[in-house]
Chain A
Amino acid sequence: MSVPGSWQFCVRLLRRQLLLAVRRPIDIGNPLLFFTMVVVLFPLGLGPAPEQLTGFAPGALWIIALLSNLLTSDSVFRSDFDDGSLEQLLLAPQPLYLSVLAYIGAHWLTTGLLLAVLSPLFALMLNLPVYALSTLVFSLLLGTAVLSLLGGIGAALTVGLKRGGMLISLLLLPLYMPVLIFGSAAVQASVSGIPTGPYLAILGAMLCLAIALAPLAVAAGLRISIDA
């Protein structure tokens, strides 16, 4: 049997992760259900007045997207760590950078991408103006990718720990904050009719930086967790 090349290996890994996700549709559905339920919490807690809803909708939608990403980050490497296949991955001759990118890519495709695509539905429930929807979708597409990459770092560092759940939130939330600031600012700007280009550009810059550096940190984190 020949050894697959780096890219081929990466693509196969991505396919495997996506296949695993598709075969357990409940894991894909749960974050979306969580998103829907938290959307309901905001009008219940803050009052259903339409103008008020428009005011906090950008921030609320972004916070919910951030939380649902946070809750799913924990499980990116968990099952593969438990059954030992992560150890095999670390021993593989292919660069860990690309393998890690495949894991995180699969995580983003099954959480962030779906959330971004479905977000207009929830946005309309929170009375966000229709002209702001495209900015919401774009900012979520870029932003959730950054969140998934950062989430991978937290997941890699805590995967070996018994009590990882609360800890990963404490590690990740400070790192998530700049993304939240620019993501919700972009939607807010769109609502008030200000050009959103600069905000989206900064989100794009964050994504570039995260793609370049985050997999390195994830790879280092995985090696540490396997050794521990």
Chain B
Amino acid sequence: MAAAMWSFFYKLGSPPWLYAISGVILRWLLPGTLLALAVGMVWGLLFTSPDFRQGNSYRIIYIHVPAAVVALAGYYVMALAGAISLVWRMKMADVAMKAAAPIGAAFTFIALFTGAVWGKPTWGTWWVWDARITSMLILLFLYLGVVVLYEAFDNKEAAGKACAVLSLVGMVNIPIVYKSVDWWYSLHQPASIKFTGESTIDSSMLYPLLLMIASFYTLFFCCLLLNIRAELLKREARTQWVKKLARVVGGH
């Protein structure tokens, strides 16, 4: 068992193996994710009852909450990958960190954008300087900072390490983001889903939401794998296996 685990980690350091295995995973996971997203979307948007106070406008919760949850979790993925590449010098962790940053930024932007769209009918304004909204905006800046720092280095190995340090520093900010709504309670409502105690959301609305959250997680994972594959091809462009792959795909 332990031997199998070590050989797995050993293989994880090999770009062609990672490229191949991610291809196999994506072949099954990507259609599954898209299907789950479609089911969750139709269920949430068409087959749940309207909210007694917000009417139909609450339905954007099925995009907003999953995007926000995954945006936060994505930062942990990025920082963890950065820490692994710093400590164990695993090249593939470095690739994963670099690949996670733009995806996380995109999810954060979706959360902010849908939040603004939801805020207009509910609170009467597109934007408020509420603690949680502001900290999501800061999260977006942290993601973009990592992207920008990576591009600034000519030496890509140093770029990876510098970004890893920056993302670990930014991680100190995440608990503040997460707890901010409890600290500076204002317009934004506190979390409705609780693992302990009574959830403040009706179960008929909760199940499609949970499905959407799960499918957003797998969507993030799929995007991450796709981005990792693209980055691998770019980095390994001069190696034999990529050239061979190009010949096969090109039909020569």
Contact = CB atoms under 8 A, between A and B. Distances in A.
A178 interface: yes
Interface in A125-170: 153, 157-158, 160-161, 163, 167, 170
A175 interface: yes
A228 B173 contact: no
Interface string A173-204: 11101100000000000000000000000000
Interface residues of A, number: 24
Interface stretch (B13-21, B53-61, B147-155, B213-221): B147-155
Interface stretch (A77-85, A95-103, A107-115, A213-221): A213-221
Interface string B114-141: 0000000000000000000010001001
Given A171-B166, A217-B165, A217-B168, A227 B158 contact: yes
B144 A177 contact: no
A19 interface: no
- Tell me what chain B mostly uses at the interface: helix, strand, loop, or mixed: helix
A11 interface: no
Given A163-B152, A167-B152, A175 B165 contact: no
B166 to A, nearest CB: 6
B102 interface: no
A227 B153 CA distance: 12
B245 interface: no
Contact of B144 (A170, A214, A221, A228): A170
A157 B142 contact: no
Contacts, number: 61
Given A171-B145, A227-B158, A228-B153, A157 B165 contact: yes
A12 to B, nearest CB: 27
B165 A224 contact: yes
Given A157-B162, A224-B162, A173 B153 contact: no
6 contacts: A153-B165, A157-B165, A160-B158, A170-B145, A171-B145, A225-B158
Interface of B: 86, 134, 138, 141-142, 144-145, 148-149, 152-153, 155, 157-158, 161-162, 165-166, 168-170, 172-173, 176
Given A170-B144, A170-B148, A220-B86, 20 more contacts: A153-B166, A157-B149, A157-B165, A167-B148, A167-B152, A171-B148, A173-B141, A174-B138, A174-B145, A175-B173, A177-B138, A178-B173, A221-B162, A221-B165, A224-B158, A224-B161, A225-B158, A228-B157, A228-B158, A228-B162
Closest 4 CB pairs of A and B: A228-B158, A174-B141, A228-B155, A224-B161
